[in-house]
Amino acid sequence: MLVFSEGDHEGKLIKPADLTAGGPPVHAWPQDPKTSVVRNASRLNEILIIRLDAAELDEQTRARAVDGIIAYSAICSHAGCPVTAWVKSDVGDKEVFKCMCHNSEYDPRASAQVVFGPAPRRLAALPLALADGSLSVAGGFIGKVGGAQPG
């Protein structure tokens, strides 16, 4: 399962209705559905979840989505900073995930591929499903989590 990692709803299960279409993303931790333990001991577990128009997603991304909702590792592939911003891209007119450490940008519509900045590879993607009306994790991360260079 997935729970909010910050804000008023911290620790609560995330439901599709909690996400506003077009962003911004919410920050989440995985939670073990059997023990209810929130897997927040490593910041490498932090996840970004965003709802976009399903028609905007590329095929691979749509296959991992639930109603246009997609999830990625929140850890920048450059030096491992948390990706915190949802802003208009420096190189296009769409909003993108942005890491403010060295300005890497990722497009969540296209498997979080790098569209700007020094990041060497996309953010790891997390396939989603629904379980009892809440978002759940359908499989392991696709791609490597974490930064390529020491922070």
Is residue 146 a contact residue for ligand FES (CB under 6 A)? no
Collapse the DSSP code of 45 into the 3-class scheme (helix H, G, I; strand E, B; otherwise coil) and give the result.
Answer: helix
In order of 32, 65, 108, 109, 128, the CA distances from 68 in angstroms are 24, 6, 11, 9, 10
Q: How far is the CB of 95 from ligand FES (least distance, A)?
A: 17
Q: Is 73 a residue that touches ligand FES (CB under 6 A)? A: no
Between 44 and 81, CB nearer to ligand FES: 81
d(CA 74, CA 103): 14
Q: Which of 57, 79, 124, 128 binds ligand FES (CB under 6 A)?
A: 79
- Using CB under 6 A, list all residues that contact ligand FES: 76, 78-81, 99, 101-102, 104, 117-119, 147
